[in-house]
Structure 1
Amino acid sequence: MLNNELHFLLLKAFNHSNNLIIQQVYDLDLLPGQPKILEYLLEHDGTIAKNISRDHVLDKSTITSLLTRMEKQNLIVRKNQINDKRAYSIYLTEKGKESAQKVKQICGHVDDIAFKNISSEDKQQFLQTLNIIIKNLREENFQ
């Protein structure tokens, strides 16, 4: 019965995917939450913490804690924004870029495992449908 319920299947898929990713990023000396921030910064270098929080569905205190530790590990640097001295932009360091590239490769490999034996058409349809589901749930969450 549960295998026909979206919430259960999403959680189950996430746990299996996350466990494979955690096993492989262990050697990179990263804490849970850091790999997805690194991967996000590859595409959004110079963003602000609020954007990371919004796009990763993590609360501000969790993001702040992760970013503080990442800065101590020399993975990121924070620079004050010119137009708002209270806010800061977050940039990957060279070490952070190297780690982010490794994380991206690992996550890509795990995605390949997940989509094994699934046609590219079915994969694209699934991703499109999942994005619609996320949008629907996000909109409902903000009402």
Structure 2
Amino acid sequence: MGKRMILPFNLLILKVFHAQKNRVRPAMAEIGLSPGQPKLLTFLALHGECLQKELAAACDIEPATISKLLNLLEENGLIARSDRAGDRRAVAVDLTEKGRRLYENEIRVRIEKINSDALRDFSEAEQQEFERYLRRMYRNLTGMPLD
């Protein structure tokens, strides 16, 4: 058996992030989604209609980048955008029925499988504790709660 690799905590987090990303991206590419699109669709599926700027902030995406991602999702009939009454600068975004079906039948199912693989051998209590730790780390690093 080889020597155990010693990794500082930041590299350990980075390696886990990349391992998860390397499972998610191909699974999403199989259903025609590019990086960034699944998290937008997931957020909308879980939270419903919201302003484009709120969506960008919630998903940690720059305003210029989110416009490009949303343009493609809109062209594919997965989201719809509309002006909010009284404020032409405020653009609301929501899933279409096609987008909702894609989320329920493909995205959610694939992500749940990847999460299940990642958390295999973790008890339910360990999973909940792990989630609390991640939320606390986020708050420590950003000063904001992770809702």
**TM-score (structure 2 length as normaliser):** 0.87
1:32-80, Cα deviation, whole Å (9 max, x unpaired) = 1101111111012211121222122111111111001111111101011
2:100 equivalent in structure 1: 97
Structure 2: unaligned runs, 5 residues or longer: none
Q: Percent identity?
A: 28
Structure with higher helix content: 1
1:1-50, Cα deviation, whole Å (9 max, x unpaired) = 75341x22222111111111122222211111101111111012211121
What amino acid is aligned across from residue 134 of structure 1 in structure 2? Y
1: distance between equivalents of 2:57 and 2:6?
A: 29
- Most deviating of 7-16 and 128-137: 7-16
Which of these residues, 36, 46, 51, is aligned with residue 49 of structure 2? 46
Which of these residues, 123, 134, 137, is aligned with residue 130 of structure 1? 134
**How big is the alpha-carbon RMSD for the aligned residues of Structure 1 and Structure 2?**
1.6
What amino acid is aligned across from residue 27 of structure 1 in structure 2? E
Structure 1: unaligned runs, 5 residues or longer: none
**TM-score (structure 1 length as normaliser):** 0.90
Is residue 13 of structure 2 the alignment partner of residue 10 of structure 1? Answer: yes
Instruction: Please say if residues 2 and 8 of structure 1, whose CA atoms lie closer than 8 Å, have aligned partners that are also in contact.
Output: no
Q: Displaced runs of 4+ in structure 1, greater than 6 A?
A: none
What amino acid is aligned across from residue 22 of structure 1 in structure 2? R
